């Protein structure tokens, strides 16, 4: 058994799949307190006795529920990360969850909702290794009373060409081994924070919502969004917007009314960094 501490949520991991605990240790550190309360009890196990030896497959379980089909053992580390995301997305009903990266500078948070292929995680990784605080690569976890966004201690999930790009730009960075041929392509997880850094983070005020879109043939292009455009897109990116009902509506509305709202197309991450620091954070 292993406890995985992510700050907001605590996972108790049961597994006999070789290498999974060591990868988790490298990302989250060791935890010896096995007796404290946990939010989720999860298992990463071989699908069957035969599957231990012939084309080995593993399955992720949260209690008795498995949200994914069995996958090759070579993808075990990625499956654990996806499973932890699923646990929170499927069971968090008090805070608003938005599929988004969150980056913070000088205590001010920018939320980056984005569709797959937008370059969100590459942008998050580069900024996180260039002086920004990464509160999340996957989910903005927002308090519905204060509308502040919480930090969540997780790695950044990089895919395909982004892995080599970040390794080239930041050779000192720590990556998990690459999981080949997943449903998302080749995947590796990047550790952008030490726990000592994360422990200093506090919930942050959201000052801007930026919808990023990577375009290899485009210079940095900035669009100012209306509140209606931003509300529609932001609410569609929320995992539990419908579950929260009126509370979800009010929280999104409050964020939209208090933030600067942009959509950007870009191909140069350094240009984005300068725009965010000078024109958004101020």
CA distance linking residue 134 with residue 101, whole number of Å: 8
CA distance linking residue 189 with residue 260, whole number of Å: 30
Please report, rounded to a whole number, the percentage of residues in the chain having pLDDT higher than 90: 83
> For position 96, what pLDDT does the model report?
98
- State pLDDT tens for residues 24-67: 999 998 765 667 789 999 999 987 666 666 778 999 999 889 99
> For position 31, what pLDDT does the model report?
64
> For position 231, what pLDDT does the model report?
96
> For position 29, what pLDDT does the model report?
85
Q: Provide the b/e sequence for 265-276 (b: ≥16 CB within 10 Å).
A: bbeebeebbebb
- Residues of the chain under the 70 pLDDT cut: 31-34, 48-53
Residue labelled with tokens 């959201």 = 206
User: Is the CB of residue 140 less than 8 Å from the CB of residue 100?
Assistant: yes
**φ/ψ (deg, to 5) at 119:** 85, 15
DSSP 39-95: SEEEEEEESSSGGGTSS-EEEEEETTB--S--EEGGGHHHHHHHHHHHHHHHH--SS
- Model's pTM, two decimal places? 0.92
Calculate the CA dihedral of residues 232, 233, 239, 240 and round it to 10 degrees. Answer: -20
**110: nearest Cα among 237, 251, 279, 271:** 279
- State pLDDT tens for residues 159-195: 999 999 999 999 999 999 999 989 889 999 999 999 8
CA distance linking residue 25 with residue 185, whole number of Å: 24
């Amino acid at each position: 058994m292993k406890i995985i501490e992510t700050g907001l949520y605590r996972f108790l991991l049961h597994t006999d799949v070789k290498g999974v605990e060591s990868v988790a240790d490298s990302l989250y550190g060791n935890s010896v307190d096995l007796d404290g309360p946990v939010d989720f009890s999860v298992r990463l196990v071989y699908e069957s006795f035969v599957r231990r030896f012939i084309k080995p497959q593993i399955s992720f379980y949260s209690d008795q529920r498995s949200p994914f089909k069995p996958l090759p053992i070579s993808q075990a580390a990625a499956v654990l990360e996806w499973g932890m995301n699923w646990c929170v997305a499927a069971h968090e009903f008090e805070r608003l969850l938005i599929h988004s990266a969150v980056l913070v500078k000088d205590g001010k948070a920018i939320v980056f909702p984005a569709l797959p292929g937008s370059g969100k995680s590459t942008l998050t990784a580069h900024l996180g290794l260039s002086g920004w605080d990464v509160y999340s690569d996957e989910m903005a976890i927002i308090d519905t009373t204060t509308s502040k966004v919480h930090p969540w201690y997780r790695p950044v999930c990089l895919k395909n060409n982004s892995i080599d790009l970040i390794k080239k730009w930041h050779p000192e960075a720590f990556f998990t081994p690459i999981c080949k041929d997943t449903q998302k392509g080749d995947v590796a997880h990047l550790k952008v924070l030490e726990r000592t850094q994360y422990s200093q983070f506090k919930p942050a005020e959201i000052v801007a919502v930026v919808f990023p879109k990577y375009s290899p043939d485009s210079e940095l292009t900035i669009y100012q969004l209306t509140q209606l455009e931003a509300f529609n897109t932001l609410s569609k990116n929320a995992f539990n917007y419908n579950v929260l009902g009126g509370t979800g509506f009010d929280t999104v509305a409050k964020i939209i009314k208090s933030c600067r709202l942009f959509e950007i197309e870009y191909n140069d991450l350094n240009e984005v960094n300068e725009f965010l620091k000078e024109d958004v954070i101020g």
